[in-house]
Amino acid sequence: MTLEEKVSILSGEDFWSVPAIERFNIGKLRVTDGPNGARGGGSLIGGVKSASFPVGIALGSTWNVPLLEEIGAALADEVKSKGAHMLLAPTVNIHRSVTNGRNFECYSEDPFLTAELAVGYIKGLQSQGIGATIKHFVGNESEIERTTISSEVGERALREIYLIPFEAAVKQAGTWGVMSSYNRLNGTYTSEHNWLLGTVLRDEWDYDGIVMSDWFGSHSTAETVIAGLDLEMPGPPRDRGQKLVDAVNAGTVDPAIVDQRVLAMLRLMERVGSLDDHRPHAERADDRPETRALIRRAGAEAAVLLKNNGVLPLAGEGKIAVIGPNAKTAQIMGGGSAQLNAHYRISPWQGLVSALGEDRLSYAQGCTNERFQPVLRGDFTVEYFDNEKLAGTPVHIGTQEEAQAFWIGNVGDGKVDPLHFSARITGQFTPEVSGEHRVGIYSAGFAKVFVDGKLIADAWTDWSKGRTFFEEGSDEVVGSVTLEAGRSYEVVIEFATKAFATLGLAAFACGIGHPLGDEAIAEAALAARDADVALVIIGRNGEWDTEGSDLLSIELPGRQNELVAAVAQVNPNTIVVLQTGGPVEMPWIGSVAAVLQAWYPGQEAGNAIADVLTGVAEPGGRLPQTFPVRWADNPAHSQDREVYPGLEGKVRYEEGIFVGYRHYDRLGLTPLFPFGFGLSYTSFTLSDLVVDDSRFESDGEVNVSLAVTNSGSRSGSAVIQLYVGDEASSEPRPAKELKAFHKVQLAPGETGKVTLKLDARSFAYFSETGHHWVVEAGAFTLRAGLSSADLPLSASVERKTSTVLPV
């Protein structure tokens, strides 16, 4: 291969592919976004339809490694349907803060749980010949200034918390891909971090896959190549191509290092079958019955029953008031690069109608929970101009079905430069009610909205950077206009591109909404009063839980707390169904009969929720993240802004290893709901703890067994959790840490035996001075139970000598 040919496959050709090398008959390598589906090569909005699986935190709630492996295999079929070879997944960053906008996409606050689930996911995916790309390596635990901020993390916290899932992915699952994060780690961009990509990943862990940049996450030529970044994405290259050829010719980059990167890419291409894949690229929408069933089953297993005063499962008769902003809107996924065009969306209302019949149900919205005004939908004409002034004759005229767009790659049928164009979008809006309406626009670019020729919202004249479109967009600008019900109004949106900060994209979203007032809550309370049971289905949506924007608090948005209080006041059988990507404060928790955390369960959302509510399925979920009473209790909450959300380009992980339940244990804080918690429709008792520590001294292994009995009247599942605590460590250590778990399904009255295995690393901490793992002499306490706060069985094991373990 010539130098130019070698360099060509070290960066993308376009947004989703690595170029072919025709002289050697090497085919293109294609990738697609994940992790809760395979979107394919289209935009984040629209495109070929795909299966939408439960989001990461929902899968984390299942605590079911075989299920994750099954989902990984199903996702491989989805990737193949999009003509791709690699899935950009799984996402395994840790829930450091409850306000991280991307927590929905990640599994847990706990590194061990995250690692076990990621291994299952990767094994399932790669067993079908599709490459995994575990991300984001490392320190991307918030979305604020994420493309430039430096995560200041000590080595011990890195080794014991943040690197654990990646280490397991490499050593246990053999992942074929790793994606570097956008952020800096202790001052250096992860995409050019010699210690991270060289010392840790390749030298210590013996990794032989590729490292690719996050999109536009490369910032240099020689530095990234030398450090270990194999692939710059997307293309065309910004830091490689001719720049890398010139660097090699100038002696800045050793040709032997280029060869290492090329061999890694060729090895990957061989693994995923793209070396000799010369089929024309085609994408199809495969809506498989078996995938539908898997998503529905996984969505139900992810649901966590947080409270139940006997009202669930729902009885076979009686009137049910279905209330709330998420009742008739299917909230199936979070926002950002994980979003896709789902085959369909089942709302909770649709699921309940199918399960119970519409005759038993009544409905009231009660309030709204949108972050932005509801996106306008309908038939829109789009005129594209090959300039940024809407000047002259359009070079292309297209159509779209909603007043939002995310333009990347091919724009305007390829007739405009995707970073230098303007567009006029024209459609109609017919309001259902008369009165004041709010018109909102936010954009990565300049945008204005006109209603019947009058400028209503202006995100052009005084555009300023906000928290939308991956921090490339403005905040929403909202204007108001009085509209008449039934009358059709012309809506025109004018858009032009602008210089970007990091990510080269153009996007906008425009919505029109009619605000709901006191009368809507009163109507909901009236419906609840006249029903036997009130189901209040509330939470957030993908506008709040999204890549590129952290939450400002964990209060329910809008007037949802007022809604719950009003309904609970008139109906003692009030059941709250929460759909969020993480915990919320619950000031009404004492006045409701039941709470079900349903997350974002994918396209079968309403059916999965209805299955759990009606008892067709067991609520199989257990919390993968501690739910605090208030946001201020969270370990990342601090009066020091450098700790969170960051200050002057740095975010300091001051809490070190004391993340999640470790933090609450350390301070003696009682959370609203502890890590690992979840109720069942049956009950379980644990007994007969037996510990075999005969090999603890020689090789660090301990085997723990116990009996689990289903003491209730229904079949159900329990997650047996085993925690380890060092009774007298020379270094500060958590009171306990999850080191093993197993999910067991039992019939009524059935007893099962669970065996949990601990290895030497289960007892070790990382020594920053020695740069190795240490198991100290002394006693360790083993605690087994059903959550981090419910550990009825315990035992102690002891070592006479200390031992050192390699990295």
Tell me which residues are annotated as active site.
214
Q: Which residues contact 148 (CB under 8 A, 6 or more apart)?
A: 182, 183, 184, 502, 649
Say which residues have a Cβ less than 8 Å from residue 755's Cβ, sequence separation at least 6: 703, 704, 705, 742
Q: Which residues contact 690 (CB under 8 A, 6 or more apart)?
A: 704, 705, 706
Length of the chain: 807
**Three-state secondary structure readout of 238-257:** CCCCHHHHHHHHCCCCCHHH
Render the burial of 337-351: b for 16+ CB within 10 Å, e for the rest: bbbbbbbebbbbbbb
State the residue for tokens 């069933």.
293
Distance of alpha carbon 192 from the chain centroid: 25
Task: Determine phi and psi for 249, rounding to 5 degrees.
Answer: -65, -30
The amino acid that residue 407 corresponds to is W
8 A C-beta contact, residue 789 and residue 624: no
Classify 173 in phi/psi space as left (phi over 0), alpha (psi -120 to 50) or beta.
Answer: alpha
Q: How far apart are alpha carbons 577 and 567 in whole angstroms? A: 13
Terminal Cα distance for the chain, rounded: 37
Other Cβ atoms closer than 10 A to 235: 19
Residue 103 DSSP label: G
Residue 19 CB contacts under 8 Å (≥ 6 apart), including other chains: 8, 9, 12, 13, 28, 235
Asked if 63 contacts 624 with a C-beta cutoff of 8 angstroms, the reply is: yes
- Return d(Cα 413, Cα 283) in angstroms, integer: 18
According to DSSP, residue 702 is labeled E
> Side chain identity at 644, as an amino acid letter?
Y
Q: How far apart are CA 352 and CA 500, in angstroms?
A: 45
Distance CA 332, CA 319 (A): 26
Cis peptide bond prior to 645, omega within 30° of 0: yes
State the amino acid at position 115 in one-letter form.
A
Taking alpha carbons only, the member of 610, 681, 618 closest to residue 357 is 610
Query: Could you tell me which of 691, 678, 749, 661 has the C-alpha nearest to residue 718?
Result: 678
Q: Quickly list H helices, 645-742.
A: 661-667, 696-699
Q: Report the alpha-carbon distance of residue 476 to residue 807 in Å, rounded.
A: 48
What is the DSSP secondary structure assignment for residue 78, as one 8-state letter? H
* Whole-angstrom distance, CA of residue 706 vs CA of residue 684: 13
Q: Of all residues in the chain, what percent are helix, strand and coil, respectively (each to 5)? A: 25, 30, 45
Where are the extended beta strands (E) located within 414-505? 422-429, 435-444, 446-451, 454-459, 465-468, 473-474, 477-483, 489-496
Whether the CB-CB separation of 554 and 583 falls below 8 Å is answered with yes
Q: What is the spatial distance between Cα 100 and Cα 221, in angstroms, rounded to a whole number?
A: 31
Query: Which sign does the torsion angle of CA 479, 432, 443, 646 carry?
Result: positive
